Amino acid sequence: MKPPMGSVPLDFMQDEDDEKALDRLRAPDRYELPELESFKRKIADDDFEIEMPTNDETKAAAIESKASKSWRALRIAARSRLGLFDKISDPEKIDAIFGEIEDPDAAPEPEAAPEQKAVLPTDQRPVVISGPPGVGKSATTEVLLSRQPGAFAQVVRHTTRKPQDGEVAGRDFLFVDKQTFDMQRDGDALIEYTTIDGDDYGTSRKTIDGIVASGKVPILHMDQEATEQARSFGFEARFVLLLPPSQETVEARLTAAGKSEDAVKATGAAAAPYFAEGSTLKEGFDEVLVNEELDATFKALETFIYGTEQGVLEPEKTDEKPTEETEAQTEDKLSEDAPAAAANNNADDAVMADAAPAAEDADKAQEGSGESNPSPAT
């Protein structure tokens, strides 16, 4: 029998199993947020209708529907993908929030490994190479990386400054914002850090752990201050001090490389404390090497790392003696840090003007509290 016309249905007053009613209330779709990816296809469908509408009414409906879906997608993405919002340049295009979040601490993607199996040392603790500016830390490391491919990887530092021309994120620096850097520093995630000209620089434990997890030995460049800071933070590593034969040798190499007199004096002054009578700067290092000739220095470093007088068989071992070109390249590498030495010793502005601005900033970052990756061209 049908109810009278205009009457209100009374079905809601019927008795119902309480458990079934609760089950309906417990249904996940009543309280769980929809998957973010579910909006990607729906927004794409709306875009298609907007571009090729059936009529004006369907186009207007698609525009309204897209706006609603985009707003909800942004609200959901804000809970876990806030870092991707910086990539949104057009409010009508929010595809960036559906991408993968880049981990600033992640180690750079490993290059294609050579067919030859990497030979790792028995002691696989990180190796910290320290020393005054211009001593050749980068040149020595480059030789180690090229002759022992797949065994070592240089640690890339974090910085809050903007990338400069020619710099590549993940190769030269890991570029992060101020908030991210402060969180890492305050959370004891950095083994060393410093501030230069208002920009922060530091080395992340997570970056080092990522290299270790990839099966390689981390190589770090640090100045004396950064080395002492890392030790005070309990960083477990093998510390190597690389020194020039003398202060005069550094100055002679820089002069031969065509550096200004002020730059030569500033770099020589930075090396002077290591040769001062009664200096304690050499204390605490596991090995002290004198970089008089690049190939001999590399062999000594390799012997120390691998723990054998013979070192390890090199993948590209040759009996050729260093050429004049190699020695000239070494002198150029030794002279790269001269502007930074001037900055660290409060030299006048004339010293800093001797170098290009980009090179000046890079050297400041390297020698302020540990060097960044060496230039591939060196």
Look at the pTM and tell me if it is higher than 0.75.
no
Say if residue 247 is in the same domain as residue 175.
yes
Residue that finishes a domain, picked among 77, 97, 117: 97
Top-confidence residue, 202 or 353: 202
Amino acid found at 27: A
Say if residue 272 is in the same domain as residue 197.
yes
Q: Which residue's entry shows tokens 């700067």?
A: 281
Say if residue 182 is in the same domain as residue 259.
yes
Q: Is residue 152 part of a domain?
A: yes
Q: Give the tens place of pLDDT for each residue, 314-364.
A: 444 444 444 333 444 444 444 444 433 333 333 333 333 333 333 344 444
CATH number, domain containing residue 296: 3.40.50.300
Q: Is residue 232 part of a domain?
A: yes
List the single range of 108-122, 221-235, 240-254, 281-295 with lowest mean pLDDT. Answer: 108-122
Say if residue 43 is in the same domain as residue 182.
no
Q: Is residue 355 part of a domain?
A: no
List the single range of 18-32, 56-70, 286-300 with lowest mean pLDDT. Answer: 18-32
3-class SS shares of the chain: helix, strand, coil, % to 5: 45, 10, 40
Top-confidence residue, 371 or 242: 242
Q: Is residue 148 part of a domain?
A: yes
Sheet of 217-222, strands arranged across? 152-154, 217-222, 127-130, 238-243, 287-290
Q: What is the pLDDT of residue 122?
A: 94
Top-confidence residue, 360 or 137: 137
Say if residue 236 is in the same domain as residue 158.
yes
Tokens representing 333 are 């590498």
Say if residue 153 is in the same domain as residue 271.
yes
Amino acid found at 166: G
DSSP for residue 172: T
User: Which of 246, 201, 243 is closest to 370 using CA atoms?
Assistant: 201
Say if residue 48 is in the same domain as residue 191.
no
Which residues, other chains included, contact 16 with Cβ-Cβ below 8 Å and sequence gap of 6+?
none
Residue that finishes a domain, picked among 97, 114, 142: 97
Collapsing DSSP to helix, strand or coil, 317 comes out as coil
Work out how many domains the chain is built from and give that number: 2
Q: What is the pLDDT of residue 90?
A: 78
Say if residue 287 is in the same domain as residue 139.
yes
Distance of alpha carbon 121 from alpha carbon 113, whole angstroms: 18
Q: Is residue 371 part of a domain?
A: no
Say if residue 173 is in the same domain as residue 78.
no
Q: Is residue 254 part of a domain?
A: yes
Q: What is the pLDDT of residue 299?
A: 94
Q: With bands split at pLDDT 50, 70 and 90, how would you rate the model's confidence at 116?
A: low
Checking if the pLDDT of 166 tops 80, the result is yes
DSSP for residue 197: T
For the chain, the farthest-separated pair of C-alpha atoms sits apart, in whole angstroms, at 112
Residue that finishes a domain, picked among 240, 275, 306: 306
Q: Give the tens place of pLDDT for each residue, 171-196.
A: 899 999 999 999 999 999 999 999 99
Which residues, other chains included, contact 203 with Cβ-Cβ below 8 Å and sequence gap of 6+?
155, 157, 158, 190, 191, 192, 193, 220, 226, 230, 370
Q: How many CA atoms lie within 13 A of 71 on its CB side?
A: 6
DSSP for residue 290: E
Q: Is residue 366 part of a domain?
A: no
Say if residue 218 is in the same domain as residue 151.
yes
Q: Give the tens place of pLDDT for each residue, 213-258.
A: 999 999 999 989 999 999 999 999 999 999 988 888 878 888 888 8
Top-confidence residue, 63 or 333: 63
Say if residue 300 is in the same domain as residue 216.
yes
Could you tell me the residue range of the domain that residue 38 belongs to? 25-97
Say if residue 68 is in the same domain as residue 152.
no
Q: Is residue 229 part of a domain?
A: yes
List the single range of 7-11, 78-82, 284-288, 335-339 with lowest mean pLDDT. Answer: 335-339
